[in-house]
Chain A
Amino acid sequence: MAMKEAMAGKQGAIMRSELGRVRGLGTARSGAGHWWAQRLTAAALVPLAVWFVISLLAHLGADGAAMARWAGRPWNSVLLLALLIALFRHLALGLQVVIEDYVHSEGAKLVSVAAMKGVLALLWLAAVVAVLKLAFAG
């Protein structure tokens, strides 16, 4: 019976330690998901950032048309999108902890984090739409 509840708990969205789950104690908030997302996006960014910097160096001096063709090629579009997804998620998570460290009033903290995420979401969408445009319209 306890095993079944434990298994059902594992499917929950909030990550929690076994002991915390059993005792019903522990933090009221969940930082574990944030912790993992930050590390996973960091690991993804290692190869993606290297690829991006090398690609930029390889195309120094290229004109807009050549650059647009490069970005529109399927593999490059996919990697650019992956880079944008990992980058913006990593950036949002990083800026969130910075805001949480320095903004102490609960209300101002909430508004700052929400505003930051909103701005980044719009920037991310602009970049993604640009890459998709290059991929499909050519």
Chain B
Amino acid sequence: MQDVREALMAGRASDGQLVRRPLSPHLQVYRPQITSTLSILHRITGIGLGVGTLLLVWWLVALASGAAAFAAVQWFVASWVGLVLLFGWTVALLFHFCNGIRHLAWDAGYGFEKPVYHASGWAVVGVSVVASLVVWAVGLAIWW
């Protein structure tokens, strides 16, 4: 059973009267940092990649279904919408991949010192951007 008081952020004053409890501002005032920003980006790219698996499943099912179905999915991928989505998916994948490795290093116990996690954070950003551009440069060179 959901606690109504939690929903209304209501409390009781000492005389029993219901009052709205004051809340400190958080996202409104906290300065974005490399740690928190990359953390939420990891979640956002993860969800974005999850949406991207819909396209992956469509592609595989179309591939197994025959030429007509495959031509349809290839048409979509090559369209402007498809290319924009594919580029976004590439960036999301490379970021999530690099930051994921950063996470695995943390899980093994490495990289918790402040200068190290700052450096690794910016390294992830740099590698993701550069690798995305490289992959797309290679792809466009092959395709066109």
The interface of chain A, by Cβ under 8 A from chain B, is: 39, 42-43, 45-46, 49, 53, 57, 60-61, 64-65, 67-68, 71, 80, 87-88, 91, 94-95, 98, 104-106, 123, 126-127, 129-131, 133-134
Contacts and interface: CB of A to CB of B under 8 A. Distances in A.
Contacts of B49: 91
A64 B107 CA distance: 42
Contact of A95 (B50, B63, B139): B50
A43 B101 CA distance: 8
B8 interface: no
Given A64-B66, A129-B64, 8 more contacts: A42-B104, A53-B93, A60-B142, A65-B67, A68-B70, A80-B60, A94-B50, A130-B57
Given A64-B71, A127-B57, A134-B63, A49 B93 contact: yes
A130 B97 contact: no
Given A39-B107, A53-B135, A67-B70, A123 B54 contact: yes
Interface in B130-144: 135, 138-139, 142-143
B56 interface: yes
Given A42-B100, A49-B93, A127 B61 contact: yes
Contact of A57 (B67, B100, B135): B135
